Amino acid sequence: MASVKKIQVTFDCAEPERVARFWCEVLGYAITLPSEGEGSWAAASDPTNEGPRMYFQRVPEGKVAKNRVHLDVRAGTGLVGEERLATLEAERDRLVALGAVCVQVLYADDENESCIVMQDIEGNEFCLD
């Protein structure tokens, strides 16, 4: 049996184009919009084709509970201590300016490095790590 090489991450949302544009800014992705219609979907794709495609589809219901799955935006890979925290905080500030919300800063302890819990512009949780 062949193994899957690519995945797509799908978001249910109220405003697909708005959420897709947010994630394009976060990740440096390119946006794809329907050629015609009501804008019931939008997509964000990695221009290098390395990362997963993200698909945003309009749904009538709003978000009512915590995500069971979330994205980790790897802004501090390879960094430790104060250098890692400063890098994460700088990225947090950039994303807040785009409309994200900082939920909690989790500081390094004996087992884990620092990370920052965030929400996108429709309240979907993600982490900066």
Per-residue pLDDT reduced to its tens digit, 51-72: 999 999 999 888 888 888 899 9
Per-residue pLDDT reduced to its tens digit, 85-127: 999 999 999 999 999 999 999 999 999 999 999 999 999 999 9
Whether residue 46 is contained in a domain is answered as yes
**And the tokens for 90?**
């700088």
Q: Domains in the chain: how many in total?
A: 2
Whether residue 34 is contained in a domain is answered as yes
Whether residue 53 is contained in a domain is answered as yes
Query: Where in the sequence is the domain holding 120, given as residue range(s)?
Result: 71-128
Buried/exposed code over 10-29 (b: 16+ C-beta within 10 A; e: otherwise): ebbbeebbebbbbbbbbbeb
Residue 44 and residue 76 in one domain: no
Q: How far is CA 84 from CA 15, 27, 39, 77, in A?
A: 33, 18, 39, 8
**And the tokens for 78?**
């390879």
The alpha carbon of residue 103 and the mean position of all alpha carbons in its chain are separated, in whole angstroms, by: 14
| pTM, 2 dp | 0.89
Whether residue 3 is contained in a domain is answered as no
Whether residue 43 is contained in a domain is answered as yes
Own/partner long-range contacts of 45-48 (Cβ < 8 Å, ≥24 apart): none
